[in-house]
Amino acid sequence: MSLSPMVPFFILLTVFLAVTGVDVKKRILMSDPAYIQQELHEIHVKLQQYDGMKSQLASHQSMLTAQDALIKSLFAKNSLLESRINDAASKGVVYVRWGRKDCQGNTTELVYSGFAGGSHYAHSGASAEYVCLPPDPLWGPHKDSPSYLPSVMYGAEYEDTVLFNVQNRNEEVPCAVCRTSTHSTSIMIPARTACYPGWEEAYHGNLAGQYFAHPAGGEYVCVDEDPQTLIGGGRTDDNGKLFYQVRTRCGSLKCPPYEEDKVLSCVVCLK
């Protein structure tokens, strides 16, 4: 006896309905096309629902992927901002403005305004550098200890009334310790009144140093073009640490570009 071609179809349909949860206990009338059509319609509906769920799942997955990318981007931006904040907090440079009591520039703060000083010009064991002494010293526990082979600190005086625009050579030199938080490097450039491209000027003026015939060593510093004096100064002539003009001597110093016996300028630059 040969089987009807519809038999395998109904067998497969029965198995499919069992797997998908369709009640297979219902009596299927092999000769009822309406019933078969109804079952096929239910299967089609379930397949459409399944496709809809797949589409929603894909959409949710796409949203999750986009949110994950956004979160990673926000973390990266946060790290960059933190790095910039840390860089800004750690950036800063300190320099001394010789001959002035103040600092200039909106991004520059005054650390303190004090008195220029150093060793005596005639001491062969003198320290070379100028120092900016604060106006409010805090003495340590050995303030009154007995003297034992000391080094000595003097105040500083202008030794050029014309260049430094002072009344007499006894006028004492002020200084200002300045800090800028927008720069990380400072440099004093002799023989210039302007900075090179890419650098910002802190101030400019005239180069000063120790007199060449004095036994004490010295250094070059930049005295502001508009120097001030200490209030109440000029009454004593201690000749401690002195500020002299600096002039050129041609020879090993190339002329040109330099010229013989000229007063050198200077500029302090920031970057």
> What is the C-alpha separation between 178 and 227, in angstroms, rounded?
16
Q: Tokens representing 134?
A: 């604060």
Q: What percent of the chain is predicted at pLDDT more than 90?
A: 48
Is the pLDDT at 3 greater than 60, yes or no?
A: no
CB 206 within 8 A of CB 99: no
88-124 exposure pattern, b = at least 16 Cβ within 10 A, e = fewer: eeeeebebbbbbbbebeeeebeebebbbbbbbbbebe
| Sole residue written with tokens 């209030």 | 231
Is the pLDDT at 58 greater than 60, yes or no?
A: yes
CB 99 within 8 A of CB 223: yes
> What is the C-alpha separation between 226 and 233, in angstroms, rounded?
17
Phi, psi of 70 (to 5 degrees): -65, -45
Least reliable range by pLDDT among 1-5, 117-121, 217-221: 1-5
For residue 50, what pLDDT is reported? 76
CB 270 within 8 A of CB 203: no
Residue 17 pLDDT grade (very low, low, confident, very high; cuts 50, 70, 90): low
Is the pLDDT at 220 greater than 90, yes or no?
A: yes
For residue 39, what pLDDT is reported? 75
For residue 4, what pLDDT is reported? 53
pLDDT in tens, 73-123: 777 777 777 666 665 556 789 999 999 999 988 788 999 999 999 999 889
CB 221 within 8 A of CB 98: yes
Q: Where are the domains of the chain?
A: 6-89, 93-135+153-271
Arithmetic mean of pLDDT over the chain: 84
- What average pLDDT does this structure show over 226-252? 86
Residue 23 pLDDT grade (very low, low, confident, very high; cuts 50, 70, 90): low
Is the pLDDT at 1 greater than 60, yes or no?
A: no
What is the CB-side half-sphere exposure of residue 167 using CA atoms within 13 A?
9
What is the CB-side half-sphere exposure of residue 42 using CA atoms within 13 A?
12
